[in-house]
Structure 1
Amino acid sequence: MSAAAGPAGAAAGAPAPRPRGAVRVVHAADVHLDSPLRGLRRLGDDAVAQTLRAATRGALERLVALCEDSGADALLLAGDLYDGTWHDYATGRFFTRQVQRLADSGVRVFVVSGNHDAESQITRSLTLPANVHRFGVDGAGTEVDEHLGLAVHGQGYRTRAVSTNLAAGYPARVPGLVNVGLLHATVDGSQGEHERYAPCSVADLTALGYEYVALGHVHAREVLATGRTTVAYSGNLQGRHPRETGPKGAYVVDLLPDGEASLAFHALDVARWESLEVDVTGAADVAGAAEALREALLGAREGAGDRPLVVRATLTGPTAAAADLADAERLRQEAEQVAEGAGVVLEKVESRARVPRAGGGDDPELVEAVRRAAEALAHDPALTGHVRAVRNEVGRLLKEADLLDLGDPRALRALAERAAEDLVTRLGGGR
């Protein structure tokens, strides 16, 4: 079940009134506090780049404010609070200040560690307020708050790579209480590409019989099961690079013993990344394509509210302007001008537009030969060897800048295919 299904799908405004007798929890995960964001060097806007560098802290502050404003009983943090060991104690002190705010408001905090903040990864520590319960790593445990009528079950990671099914060892539910499972794991069928840590199935989790299972690790928000047991990924709190797009935040969850969970998503990201595919079909010239881009950017700008918006745009479709759009430098300058007018920061723009069939002046045999050569290269097992020298020279920098992973055969295949399409587009445009 995707995040778009049911009450979990839409971003909520002010928190709704709490049902009588319900326990209200806020579910968040993958804060990656003080994570070094990737791709900022390509931004021409220094102010936005600075905002992005501080975004994980700002998102955590918004999360704490949500707990306070919603009258939450507890905050559930489902792993990867940190991005690895702290560079200094400032990261730990910042988190401690935030959970102390929650202590002052009477909000409990329950935390499990994940692969990035596993016990073996975090070499520094600070004493946390008494309202914070961090689950151990040697086995799943249960923390009961009789006053709230809440039992939380959880287990953290001892090492970064956990290959066993931790969910299989989670305790039985505590009768008469709201039961919540807190777990950092890969659930079969979940969205996106991610390392398979603590793998389990939806059936494993619903069999626990808890009212709610709060998941972390997958950065895409998704509800995997509803009914007697609701299972959900909240996604990460703040997008950290161009592939982590769209609203990011947390769920406010109302729970009753033996009742179905009620979820409301709240966007908490300080800055937002978006990836837009802009259809320029029929554009007579570059100006027409630029107008289509402008309309798409304005739509995305409206959806992002008052937060900075960073966009990666791809132009697609048949257009007479395809050959001109294949000029990467001209396209970049035109697109940046449009983005500036729309109040958007352009991270990257590329054209996959093509020449309309009826207007082609290309040699069919030449075009076919180009495509066959690209296909052969894209599926040549020796492709990674062809770029070894380049990878040794600049591979790390390209990967850190989120431009290209020269060690990934899939990325190299896509690059070969894209180069062929660019050449075909130029041939079709008579260039």
Structure 2
Amino acid sequence: MRALSSVYIFIAGAFLSATSAIAQVSSAAPPAVGVVAVEFKPMAESTEINGRIQARNRVDLVARVTAFMDERLFVEGADVKKDQVLYRLERAPFQAEVEAKEAAVAEAKAQLENADLALFRAQELLRKNSGTQVTADTALAAQRTAAAQLKAAQAQLHQAQINLDYTEIKAPIDGLIGRTSLTVGNVVSPSSGTLATIVSPDPMYVIFPVSVRRVLELRERYADKGGYHAVQIRVRLPNGEIYGQTGKLEFVDIGVAKDTDTLILRGTIPNSRIQTVEEKKLYELTDQEFVTVLLEAVEPLKVLAVPRAAILADQQGDYVFVVNDKNVAEQRRVKLGQSTPDVAGVVDGLQPDERVVVEGIQRVRPNLAVSPAPASSISAGR
């Protein structure tokens, strides 16, 4: 009888323990989550494209005559001015050629003067009936030949002077000059190739290809907003930093690349000087540098936006958890539009003022009752 009583006591204790556990589970509070209201926010529309920096002016210096290089008159990497002498080649042979051509011109002038006198005498004798027409015609031909020989001699002198001037290689533009490919003492000629390159450092071009479809979309979108003037260019440098200056789109190529179906677009952007070291000016952007081009609207667009933290994804696509009027979390599929690393623009799936979960999202399941609070309050409580 005592054993039976012990069994009853055990069963009653187990029943009471189970009832208490069920009560605790049923009375557990819904998980706390931080929510934000969906609202329209200004967002700069941006399109990322791979591109390159290119100097607006670029000149490859090439020797125009064959001669020994006597002097290099610039510092590699330094700033040079237009008409500054950069290389001086051996001048003596070309100077001698000029002097020889000057002598030839003097000789041709003397021959022309003699032919002029002979023609004058022949024409005077013919006028006085003391000479013949044949003699006068011969003198005229000789005078014209002498005049032509003088012009030829003068042309040769001009060419010799040009070659002499080519012994001084000058900068055709202002800009930064690169390294020299040949040093003093070498023979240079037109076949020697580029001796050095000069580029204009500021401003720079930004060259990038865009698909024809995207160009048409941009043209339609900004047609009533100023066209090219409604778009600005920003540049992401190879280290991931955004360059501080903005540029303007100024040119769209007239032909489409057949192999890629793209158009080449070109913008102009200021090039900030970093510092000057020993006559060498250092700039932020470098000719032929590979960058990421960001095409942005000058005026930000108003879009429905939520924090990036609210966006989840699975095999079916992007979704968020929306808290309804009964504080129940609903899974909602969304279509994203223009976004930034912190904010996601939503094209479809949400309405203004709906509440989406951004904090405590790991505790949320579809159709689960939650305890929502403004996201800032949740953050402050942690």
TM-score interval, smaller chain: under 0.3
**Larger strand share, 1 or 2:** 2
Specify which structure has the bigger relative contact order, considering alpha-carbon pairs within 8 angstroms and separated by 6 or more residues. Answer: 2
With structure 1 as the length reference, what TM-score do the two structures score?
A: 0.17
Question: TM-score when scaled to structure 2?
Answer: 0.19
Which structure has the greater CA radius of gyration? 2
